[in-house]
Amino acid sequence: MTQLAQQTVLVTGANRGMGREYVSQLLERGVAKVYAAARDLARDPRTIDTSDSRVVPLELDVTDSASIARAAELAQDVSVLINNAGIARAESVLSPDTSTLRLELETNLFGPLALVSAFADRLAERSGAVINVASVASWIGLGGSYGVSKAALWSATDSMRTELAPRGVQVLGVYVGYVDTDMAASVHGPKSDSSDVVRQVLDGLEADEVEVLADETSRAVRAHLSQPIQTQFARLVQVDA
């Protein structure tokens, strides 16, 4: 079980939306330090609020292996990694131009994979945690290319958990529909409050959960899918015993 007090946390996409909310609520929960990562700090360092001395701005492009390596070198004390950065373009999956899909996969899938790989040993040393922010679009084919990238992240999150749980690392997947941030500004429909979503995620982390379903849509869709493979396996073991 990961208690956040005195942890050192790295949050990607910390310059806006849910990323900013993660930083704020982590500070409220007594973390020792937050590496607030964003891609554009060189252009505008003011995007990260450093009024609290525990906040350390960190320039990080999750699609750039050299940038990830630099971040891993600078942030050697990380015990919790929050893969929050993401993009949504929702291109047709049948588009002959796959550049948008490839960009979304680079950001939404390969970025988190590369970061977890870079920090895995340190997280294991500290019995730490990974949070991957996915989407209800992981499970329903309504998000075009975006949904493909988030479905891949869902699968990757379960695979990460299979590999890292024996090493003492908690891996938490987050699933939610539209959240009231600038990413969903053009969406007309119900949206979750970012502060409520983040609160649920951090509560779930401290409760040792493997998934957080942060809105009714995600809970309804998830109810029609099979349970996480780890849960199924645990039940099979109990039956066999």
Q: What is the predicted pLDDT for the residue at 236?
A: 45
Please indicate, yes or no, if residue 153 is contained in any of the structural domains.
yes
Q: Residue 78: which domain range?
A: 8-240
- CATH number of the domain bearing residue 160: 3.40.50.720
Region for residue 222 given its phi and psi (left: phi exceeds 0; alpha: psi -120 to 50; beta: otherwise): alpha
| 229, containing H or E segment | helix 229-240
Q: Dump strand ranges (E) for the chain.
A: 8-11, 33-38, 55-59, 80-83, 129-133, 170-175, 211-213
Q: Is the dihedral of CA 8, 12, 15, 20 positive or negative?
A: negative
> pLDDT higher for 142 or 214?
214
Q: What is the mean pLDDT of the segment spanning 74-98?
A: 95
Please indicate, yes or no, if residue 143 is contained in any of the structural domains.
yes
Residues 92, 87: Cα–Cα separation, whole Å: 15
Q: What is the predicted pLDDT for the residue at 232?
A: 44
Please indicate, yes or no, if residue 105 is contained in any of the structural domains.
yes
43 has pLDDT over 80: no
Q: What is the predicted pLDDT for the residue at 57?
A: 96
224 has pLDDT over 90: no
Both tokens assigned to 171: 């891996």
Please indicate, yes or no, if residue 137 is contained in any of the structural domains.
yes
Q: What is the CB neighbour count within 10 angstroms for residue 5?
A: 9
Please indicate, yes or no, if residue 1 is contained in any of the structural domains.
no
Q: State the average pLDDT for the chain.
A: 89
Q: What is the CB neighbour count within 10 angstroms for residue 100?
A: 17
Please indicate, yes or no, if residue 233 is contained in any of the structural domains.
yes
- 33-37, 117-121, 217-221: range with lowest mean pLDDT: 217-221
Res. 103 pLDDT band, cuts 50 70 90: very high
CB-based contact 154:113 (threshold 8 Å): no
Number of domains in the chain: 1
Please indicate, yes or no, if residue 81 is contained in any of the structural domains.
yes
Please indicate, yes or no, if residue 114 is contained in any of the structural domains.
yes
**pTM for the structure as a whole:** 0.89
Which percentage of the chain shows pLDDT scores above 90?
74
Q: What is the CB neighbour count within 10 angstroms for residue 83?
A: 27
150 has pLDDT over 80: yes
Residues whose CB falls within 8 Å of the CB of residue 169, separated by 6 or more in sequence, listed in order: 120, 123, 124, 127, 128, 129, 130
Q: How many helices (H) and strands (E) would you count in the chain?
A: 8, 7
